């Protein structure tokens, strides 16, 4: 295999060998601590424009199957791993990890000292990186980041029939597993683009609304905050990850970027009402700023055990709840899968009575 290099904008260079697509790659270098689920991770739209470093030392050992992709077309910038397994063993495997990267047009670098790379990111903060056939001495000029949500959101309304309540899923770059979880709760789901206004949602006559996860800085969508607020004032709403941030922002809160984000399937979160700790799957760079929350409007429902950051909100008047983590957790634990069930029960308890906008 051909030798390759990851050059960080802070000057560090990491050597390995190239896999996947035959092209150079530039992106924000992040790391994920999950022990399994590499297929779901590389197909998660929330990684748009990023180079993922896998902390787990061996990747590819169970191959890639036909069922676990979270989106049709992977949008990540690249992948960095330690040991590459080219002899996968699993009855559902249809291709190797390296073949998946190649067919998806994603550049990869294997054989890297990922432990040192992750320690570097943790000390430097999330940095830009460049994967190529040789180290670079001059980093490419910084360009303005695109609005990744525009690139990954569905362009067309999609309908999924079922025999339960009707939920509109606003797509900021949704994982397929969120849709699957709603369908498993017997919801009929209408998937709509991120820029769908309230009036079009009203025409769909939903019983509730879910704001999905997605990539990038939530402030990229500030032109839609007023519309998001109106939507949440009309329908029971659940916000997940980016959806959580957007709801908080639409009610006047602020967000900030973490030093190196939360990404993995082992993040402990305390449910403040019960004191119980849930192990959660997470994938985000931004968090809601603690002191920016109006406590006359929202209760904080969950906090991260490690850094005390806000992990969930509940509106005091409207049936609005948000979580920073992923209740559908693919990959990850199922500790918080009940959040979907609770949301559907909330919809059912409201019945046909719509609460008045105040």
Statement to judge: residues 187 and 252 lie in one domain: yes
Active site residue 291: no
Active site residue 326: yes
Statement to judge: residues 267 and 236 lie in one domain: yes
Q: Is 243 helix (H, G, I), strand (E, B) or coil?
A: helix
pLDDT of residue 200: 98
Given a contact cutoff of 8 angstroms between Cβ atoms, the answer to whether 20 and 101 are in contact is yes
Last residue of a domain, one of 132, 164, 194: 132
Return the structure tokens found at 340: 């979907």
Statement to judge: residues 124 and 168 lie in one domain: no
Statement to judge: residues 172 and 204 lie in one domain: yes
Marked catalytic residue, from 71, 234, 241, 284? 241
Active site residue 328: yes
Domain that holds residue 111: 3-132
Q: What is the DSSP letter of 114?
A: H
Statement to judge: residues 11 and 40 lie in one domain: yes
Q: What is the CATH number of the domain that holds 317?
A: 3.40.50.880
Marked catalytic residue, from 244, 262, 267, 326? 326
Q: What is the CATH number of the domain that holds 61?
A: 3.50.30.20
Statement to judge: residues 255 and 305 lie in one domain: yes
Statement to judge: residues 252 and 119 lie in one domain: no
Number of domains in the chain: 2
Q: What is the mean pLDDT of each run of 10 residues along the chain (358 residues)?
A: 95 97 96 96 97 98 97 94 98 97 97 98 94 92 82 97 97 97 97 98 98 97 98 98 98 97 97 98 97 97 98 98 96 94 92 43
Phi-psi region of 36 (alpha: psi -120 to 50; beta: other; left: phi over 0): beta
pLDDT of residue 239: 98
Statement to judge: residues 225 and 106 lie in one domain: no
pLDDT of residue 358: 31
Backbone angles phi, psi at 186, to 5 degrees: 70, 20
Q: Is 18 helix (H, G, I), strand (E, B) or coil?
A: strand
331: preceding bond cis by omega (within 30 degrees):
yes
Q: Is residue 357 part of a domain?
A: no
Statement to judge: residues 173 and 238 lie in one domain: yes
Last residue of a domain, one of 132, 156, 179: 132
pTM (two decimals): 0.95
Q: Is 219 helix (H, G, I), strand (E, B) or coil?
A: helix
- Please, what is the angle between helix 176-184 and helix 338-350, to 10°? 50
Q: What is the DSSP string of 172-236?
A: SS--HHHHHHHHHTT-EEEEEETT--HHHHHHH--SEEEE---SS-GGGGGGGHHHHHHHHHHS-
Can you name the residues that pair with 169 across neighbouring β-strands?
191, 210
pLDDT of residue 355: 38
Statement to judge: residues 257 and 314 lie in one domain: yes
pLDDT of residue 142: 63
Marked catalytic residue, from 28, 70, 311, 328? 328
Given a contact cutoff of 8 angstroms between Cβ atoms, the answer to whether 247 and 228 are in contact is yes
Q: Is residue 137 part of a domain?
A: no
CA 81 to chain centre: 20
pLDDT of residue 350: 83
Q: Is residue 143 part of a domain?
A: no
Given a contact cutoff of 8 angstroms between Cβ atoms, the answer to whether 207 and 347 are in contact is yes
C-alpha to C-alpha distance for 102 and 78, rounded to whole angstroms = 11
pLDDT of residue 146: 85
């Amino acid at each position: 295999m051909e030798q390759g290099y990851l050059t960080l904008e802070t000057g560090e260079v990491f050597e390995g060998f190239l896999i996947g697509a035959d092209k150079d790659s530039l992106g924000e270098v992040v790391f994920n601590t999950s022990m399994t689920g590499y297929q779901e991770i590389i197909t998660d739209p929330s990684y748009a424009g990023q180079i993922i470093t896998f902390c787990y030392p061996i990747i590819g050992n169970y191959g890639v199957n036909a069922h676990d992709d979270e989106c049709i077309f992977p949008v990540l910038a690249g992948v960095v791993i330690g040991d590459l397994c080219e002899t996968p063993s699993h009855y559902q495997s249809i291709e190797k990890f390296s073949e998946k990267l190649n067919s998806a047009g994603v550049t990869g670098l294997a054989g890297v000292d990922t432990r040192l790379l992750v320690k570097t990111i943790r000390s430097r903060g999330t940095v830009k990186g460049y994967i190529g056939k040789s180290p670079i001495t001059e980093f490419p000029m910084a360009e303005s980041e695109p609005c990744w949500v525009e690139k990954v959101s569905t362009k067309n309304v999609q309908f999924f029939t079922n025999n339960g309540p009707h939920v509109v899923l606003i797509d900021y770059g949704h994982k397929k597993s969120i849709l699957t979880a709603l369908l498993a709760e017997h919801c009929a789901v209408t998937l709509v683009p991120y820029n769908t206004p309230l009036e079009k949602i009203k025409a769909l006559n939903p019983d509730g609304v879910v704001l999905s996860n997605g990539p990038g800085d939530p402030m990229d969508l500030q032109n839609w905050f007023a519309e998001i607020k109106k939507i949440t004032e009309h329908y029971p709403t659940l916000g997940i990850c980016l959806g959580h941030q957007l709801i908080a922002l639409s009610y006047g809160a602020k967000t900030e970027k973490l030093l190196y984000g939360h990404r993995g399937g082992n993040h402990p979160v305390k449910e403040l009402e019960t004191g119980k700790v849930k192990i959660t799957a997470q994938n985000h760079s931004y968090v809601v700023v603690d002191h920016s929350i109006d406590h006359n409007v929202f209760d904080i429902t969950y906090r991260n055990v490690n850094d005390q950051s806000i992990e969930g909100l509940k509106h005091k008047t409207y049936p609005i709840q948000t979580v920073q983590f992923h209740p559908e957790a693919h990959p990850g634990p199922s500790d918080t899968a009940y959040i979907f069930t609770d949301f559907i029960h909330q919809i059912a308890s409201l019945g046909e009575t719509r609460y008045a906008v105040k």
